[in-house]
Amino acid sequence: MTTLDNVTTHPTQHPLSTHTQSPRGPPLPAHRLPDLPGHLAIPEQSRGGPAALDLFNTAPAEAVQPVLLACLHSRPWSRRLTAHRPYPDLDALLAAADEAAYDLTPVELAEALAGESLPELPEDAYLAAHTALSAAQAAYEARFGHVFVICVDDLTPDEVLDRVLAAIRSRLANDPEEERIVAAEELRRLARGRLIRALRGTTP
């Protein structure tokens, strides 16, 4: 743990960085993000409020960048957000995060995609669900050369499997350039949601 003024970081994985093994099926591939601190330590009474953003704005770069890398595995993205501090409010930070994600080069996008994995399934998912998802993901990786990414922040656990399977099958029809654009947009949405949760000190 690093303590700098009133800012600390926790050497734990980001809340989205692990998969829980289902008792009814084999585990999906482990998340590929490095073991990075997941969020700033923010007092309970100030989580998600102005004090949380103040901590983000004033924390040393070496404390902030690991937090950002746990939101999106892109060093250019994390450096840009760190360098442009301070942000007047959360909306300004999220707008900067979106803009930096849109500006990723193809090489930088590939780096970010390499740090991702499939959403985890509900704990009671059956073996057939794991098998279907693994087969769809294998077909997707064979076509596009990277893991399938999708933001499911707006879904309940019971909705995740059907949405992911439908999206993989639909997006397999894309050509590589079309899919690069779709994957970049999903990464942007994932990064935005993770950044909000990191500042609030919460899990999905």
3-class secondary structure per residue, 16-36: CCCCCCCCCCCCCCCCCCCCC
Q: How many CA atoms lie within 13 A of 71 on its CB side?
A: 30
- The model carries a pTM of 0.73
Confidence (pLDDT) at 102: 95
HSE toward the beta carbon, residue 176, CA cutoff 13 A? 8
pLDDT score recorded for residue 118: 79
d(CA 137, CA 139): 5
Residue 134 token pair:
């693994």
The answer on pLDDT for 73 being more than 90 is yes
Distances (CA, A) of 80 to 51, 59, 188: 22, 15, 15
Q: Which tops the pLDDT comparison, 18 or 118?
A: 118
pLDDT-derived band at 121 (thresholds 50, 70, 90) equals confident
State the virtual CA torsion across 162, 141, 204, 154 in degrees, nearest 10.
-40
Indicate if the pLDDT at residue 199 is higher than 80: yes
On the question of pLDDT at 59 being above 70, the answer is yes
Report CA torsion sign: 75, 77, 80, 82: negative
Judge whether residue 143 has pLDDT over 80: yes
Q: How confident is the model over 9-51, as pLDDT tens digits?
A: 333 333 333 333 333 444 433 333 333 344 444 444 344 456 8
In this structure, are residues 104 and 184 in contact, taking their beta carbons and an 8 Å threshold? yes
Q: What is the structure's pLDDT at 117? A: 84
Please give the pLDDT value at position 123: 73
